[in-house]
């Protein structure tokens, strides 16, 4: 037996929306009892008197603040800053590191070659950075 989902979903959503729309109409009834059920009743209200004792207010508190000294600040001395220093791009160091590693890879064999490549990379980065800086 095939179940058609769309018609069942449509009917269930329609029923849920009708239920939700009818809830505010029933909200004025209190738990199923209509309000006119309570109209004929009367209530006896008796006033309740409380005994209150009067106490006089406390005496006023006088606060004497000390005299604060007058403080005069001198203006700060002028500060002069140098021109801004911007970071240089690292292209010189990167190029030098690649060139140093390429040259050092031609030297040695085994673990010596790995050490030579590491040393060539560091030395090439230092030389490339100094060349890019113009020193």
The pLDDT score that the predictor gives to residue 72 is 87
Q: Give the model confidence (pLDDT) of 97-128 as tens digits.
A: 999 999 888 887 778 888 888 999 999 999 99
In angstroms, what CA-CA distances link 96 with 119, 121, 131?
12, 7, 9
The pLDDT score that the predictor gives to residue 56 is 83
Residue 112: φ, ψ to 5°: -65, -35
The neighbour count for residue 107, using CB atoms within 10 Å, is: 13
Supply the pTM of this predicted model: 0.37
Secondary element (H or E) of residue 126: helix 111-133
The pLDDT score that the predictor gives to residue 23 is 62
Query: Could you give the CA distance from residue 132 to residue 134 in angstroms, rounded to a whole number?
Result: 5
The neighbour count for residue 94, using CB atoms within 10 Å, is: 15
Closest CA to 107 of 96, 95, 92, 121: 121
Mean pLDDT calculated for residue range 74-96 = 85
């Amino acid at each position: 037996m095939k179940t058609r989902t769309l018609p069942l979903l449509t009917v269930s959503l329609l029923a849920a929306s009708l239920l939700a729309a009818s809830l505010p109409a029933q909200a004025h009834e209190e738990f199923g009892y209509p309000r006119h059920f309570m109209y004929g009743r009367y209530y006896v209200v008796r006033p309740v008197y409380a005994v209150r004792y009067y106490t006089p207010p406390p005496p006023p508190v006088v606060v004497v603040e000390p005299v604060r000294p007058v403080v005069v600040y001198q203006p700060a001395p002028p500060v002069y800053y140098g021109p801004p220093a911007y970071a240089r791009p690292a292209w010189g160091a990167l190029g030098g590191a690649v060139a140093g590693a390429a040259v050092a890879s031609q030297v040695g064999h085994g673990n010596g070659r790995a050490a030579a490549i590491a040393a060539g990379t560091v030395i090439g980065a230092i030389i490339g950075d100094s060349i890019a800086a113009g020193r």
